[in-house]
Structure 1
Amino acid sequence: MMPIMKFVDSLTPTTTKQEVPILFHEPHVETGFRKIHQPWYYYLFSLFQRHNECMNAWTHLIALLFCLGKFKSFSEEFDLINDPYMLPLVAGIMTTVMLYLCSFSAHCFHNQSELMHYTWFMIDYAGIGMYGLGCTILHYSYSLDQSLIGGILHDIAVPVAVCLAVTVCVCCSVSKVMYKRPYPFTRKIWQLSSVGGIYFLLIIPILQRIYLSIHDGEKWDSGLSHHTQQILWFLSAGFFFGSDIPQRFFPGKFDFVGHSHQIFHVCIMMTTFKKLDAVYEDIRQNREKYLMQLPMPSFMGTIGAVLLATLMNIIVVSIFHQLAKSKLLIEPKKKE
């Protein structure tokens, strides 16, 4: 570790917001900005440097590692390769890895240039949409009440989720390219409305189960307890994402630790953990009860849907990459 730390100490030091283009500014963040146009390895090794994106990157990396540990335990209990009823779980695993890998990479590498800033966060948005698709596949495969099975919503959930996964990437990319810093609140409406749309779809089976438990006296099982916690964590994430609290009240004091976006990441991490715990309990409790009586999951309704949405999002990112490139060519670079 000592040679690595000596190398990290030799990296280009961070600077204040006055020394970087306005595109990289964040509300109420004053210091800890990495300089642009550095070699790619600089941004990777800056994981061990003190800067204002360090904790954002680490929270996603830690979440990814913990999720991989959970996936390993799933593989030891379930036959993820040969059991067709595990295809939805494999699809959910794929999209969870996509979410954290895309988001980690965005926070790690976006400072390389203005164009890379746009592009990496478009990739981040694609990962968010893919995660929503994966959650939809999981919930409509393992976590729904029997009354939803075979209904219209059950039949169209995955195709609609594919469209919404791409919509998330499109809307968030529009919000990134269309607006300039300091961003207006309208930009967050673009983001929150698209993410809210796919979240509403994926959470319907859970809300129905909660309603049936409260209103009709259905059993409140351990899976539903985990689902309720994932909802609370997600709502907390939305609050910190949209509020800029606590740095709003103490500008410059939370540049490195305690920023609302870091808290947002932790809330999303907990949302993921509780979702995985909930799905595990749903599979364990309902596998023999009725899951095995469902139509066999299809490739196109699970992994195929993930691959299709991934391809479509690659196209979306490529288009908006070119739009961002054109924007940077015609607009003068501005600094505050």
Structure 2
Amino acid sequence: MLTVKLPQLLNIHQVPQVFRTDGIISGYRHPKSSALDCILSSFRMTNETLNIWTHFLPTWYFLWRFLVLSTSLDFCTDPYNWPLLLYLLVICLYPFTSSCAHTFSTMSPHACHFCYFLDYGALSLYSLGCAFTYSAYIMPDRWINSPLHLHFTQLATLNSFICTALSCYSRFLELEAPKLSKVLRTAAFVHPFIFDNVPLLYRLLFCWGDGCAWNAAIPLHFHHLFFAFLAGFLFASHLPERLAPGRFDYVGHSHQLFHVCAVLGTHFQLEAILVDMSSRKPWLTSHTPPATLLGTLGVVGAAVLGNLAIIGLFARILLWSPRATSILQSTASEGTKLKE
């Protein structure tokens, strides 16, 4: 019978710095794993296993929702549905990319950085997808056709570039200034989140009476914001593993909980968008011009190309910069002592 022997799991002192996570002491995969080892490791318990599955399984859930909605909505010829189409594509993309990043990040230090560069790019596109739906369906009535509304998606595209560039750059600071690296990476994702949600926060907190679009979507928006804030807190705090290093190595550490909260937040966000989209359609279609291919697919295409260019730039720096060499080789002597 064919058997596969996977490399033994390691502790934090046996892997190079680039693979280490604060508060996680054991369960690390070999830092020179093959692609097959990485795939097979998702079926054994490591400190990354639940990180992989908490985004891989939701990918299929969101894909299922996409397919179901495609049977009832006209995504081809009805411009009103195009922002939702873009949003559905990116909520399938970002968890899948994250799952792949966690799966293959231990092939090498280079692979670790490249995987997370792509992960950051997918999250940036998710923020842009949110901006499209918020501009089309969430904007308060009294803000429709305002300067902010008219330029909302263009500004969100710029934010996606900032998000990708800042988060990729933060990886170069992890060894010399880990706290600054964490601050920059957190800020990279908080910034587009706040921008995207300005219309919603105004609608929920400061808008009363006519023109505020109070409807059945409001409780769902509050649920989405609750899980989004909780996800941000977990990402930034490294709790609970920071309080008890080693106790949550395999189950219950902050990144797993962050994934779960992010997916739940996206679920409630999707449900709220669908309610607003349906209930506000008569008013919105009569007060706003229809979406155009240039304003939707054209903007998203430019955003994809721009984010890929930014990722390519940082990948080039990683490969050729003398400073990047020190990041890749830090504590490499520890890694070379590992038994193959």
Fold conserved between structures, TM > 0.5: yes
2:91 paired residue among 90, 93, 96: 96
2:325 paired residue among 315, 325, 329: 329
Measured in 1, the distance between the counterparts of 2:304 and 2:310 equals 10
- Amino acid paired to 1:109: F
1:269 paired residue among 253, 263, 267: 263
1:211 shift after superposition: 3.0
- Amino acid paired to 2:31: I
Counterparts of 1:81-160 in structure 2, within 5 Å, are: 81-160=76-155
Q: Please say if 1:203 is aligned against 2:166.
A: no
Question: Is the 1:28–1:250 Cα contact (8 Å) retained in structure 2?
Answer: yes
1:288 paired residue among 276, 282, 285: 282
2:188 paired residue among 179, 187, 194: 194
1:149 shift after superposition: 1.1
Of 106-115 and 302-311, the range deviating more from structure 2 = 302-311
Misfit runs of 4+, over 6 Å: none
2:34 paired residue among 14, 31, 39: 39
1:65 shift after superposition: 1.2
- Cα distance 1:16–1:61, how it changes in 2: closer, same or farther (>3 A)? same
- Cα distance 1:45–1:75, how it changes in 2: closer, same or farther (>3 A)? same
1:289 shift after superposition: 2.9
Question: Is the 2:140–2:203 Cα contact (8 Å) retained in structure 1?
Answer: yes
Question: Is the 1:157–1:201 Cα contact (8 Å) retained in structure 2?
Answer: no
Measured in 1, the distance between the counterparts of 2:247 and 2:266 equals 29
Which residue of the partner structure matches residue 320 of structure 1? Answer: 314
Of 326-335 and 287-296, the range deviating more from structure 2 = 326-335
Measured in 2, the distance between the counterparts of 1:36 and 1:300 equals 44
Measured in 1, the distance between the counterparts of 2:6 and 2:77 equals 48
1:176 shift after superposition: 0.5
Which residue of the partner structure matches residue 226 of structure 1? Answer: 220
Measured in 2, the distance between the counterparts of 1:106 and 1:139 equals 28
Q: Deviations over 1:258-304 (max 9, x none)?
A: 00111111110011001100010011101123335421101232222
Structure 2 residues without counterparts, runs of 5 or longer: 335-340
Which residue of the partner structure matches residue 337 of structure 2? Answer: none
Which residue of the partner structure matches residue 10 of structure 1? Answer: 5
The SS at the match of 1:290 is helix
Measured in 2, the distance between the counterparts of 1:77 and 1:280 equals 12
Which residue of the partner structure matches residue 22 of structure 2? Answer: 27
Percent identical across equivalent pairs?
26
2:299 paired residue among 278, 296, 305: 305
Instruction: Tell me the C-alpha RMSD between the 2 structures.
Output: 2.0
Structure 1 residues without counterparts, runs of 5 or longer: none
- Amino acid paired to 2:40: F
Measured in 2, the distance between the counterparts of 1:83 and 1:305 equals 18
- Cα distance 1:179–1:212, how it changes in 2: closer, same or farther (>3 A)? closer
Measured in 2, the distance between the counterparts of 1:124 and 1:61 equals 13
Question: Is the 2:142–2:212 Cα contact (8 Å) retained in structure 1?
Answer: no
1:97 shift after superposition: 2.0
Of 252-261 and 219-228, the range deviating more from structure 2 = 219-228
Question: Is the 1:85–1:292 Cα contact (8 Å) retained in structure 2?
Answer: no
Measured in 2, the distance between the counterparts of 1:328 and 1:193 equals 22
Which residue of the partner structure matches residue 58 of structure 1? Answer: 53
Question: Is the 1:31–1:52 Cα contact (8 Å) retained in structure 2?
Answer: yes
- Amino acid paired to 2:105: H
1:256 shift after superposition: 0.7
Q: Deviations over 1:95-126 (max 9, x none)?
A: 22221122111111111100111111111111
Measured in 2, the distance between the counterparts of 1:104 and 1:188 equals 21
